Amino acid sequence: LLSPQVRGPGLGVIGVSKGAEVALAMASFFPQVVATVWINGTSSFYGNPVVYRDLQIPAIPYQPERVVFTDVGALANSAIFPDPRDPSYSSSVIPTEKIRGKVLFVVGEDDRSFDSPLFARLAMARMAPQSCRLLSYPGAGHLIEPPGSPLCSNSSIRKTPRPVAWGGEAQAHAKAQEHSWREIIQFLETQLGPVATMKL
């Protein structure tokens, strides 16, 4: 049985980093997705091709030889993403012009892992202006999470030889998390309706 908080027919999707790439793809290909929150993601498929039923979309390969090391030896990965505006990568672009719902783009301008400001602009350029909105935060890093979450500037992840640099300045990042969370909740309630009151 579904919880009273699970409603339809429209669905909302939230994704951060690679998850934002997946969320944007879901919004592009599944009309049931009416509200998407994209947090510091990409505007093209990177690393892994997309295969779904008869759909096959190639991915832009990473260029790990372009990685930059920070002062503390962490990997600043934004340079490993080739420029998706290169015509040879046109078949890997997420077709955001097909999105029927609304998208809220959330960008940390101090993102050390992705060039999120660029990716957000490219995704939005393919969309109708009324179908998307951008929240861009100076001093915020890659991992914009709910308020109260501590700033994580560097951390280890699977399959990387060193910690990854996420960026962010503590005070600016905290303010971005507080503000964006309020905006995200309001956006989802506007697109999906307020959460139903549970009665036990």
Q: Tell me how crowded residue 117 is: count the other CB atoms within 10 A of its CB.
A: 16
**Active-site annotation, residues:** 17, 111, 142
Contact at 8 Å (CB) between 40 and 144? yes
**CA 155 to chain CA centroid, nearest Å:** 18
Residue type for position 77: N
* Host H or E run for residue 68: strand 68-69
Q: How far apart are the first and last CA of the chain?
A: 15
Please tell me what DSSP assigns to residue 102.
Answer: E
Cβ partners under 8 Å of residue 180, min gap 6:
39, 106, 135, 137, 144
Q: Tell me how crowded residue 13 is: count the other CB atoms within 10 A of its CB.
A: 23
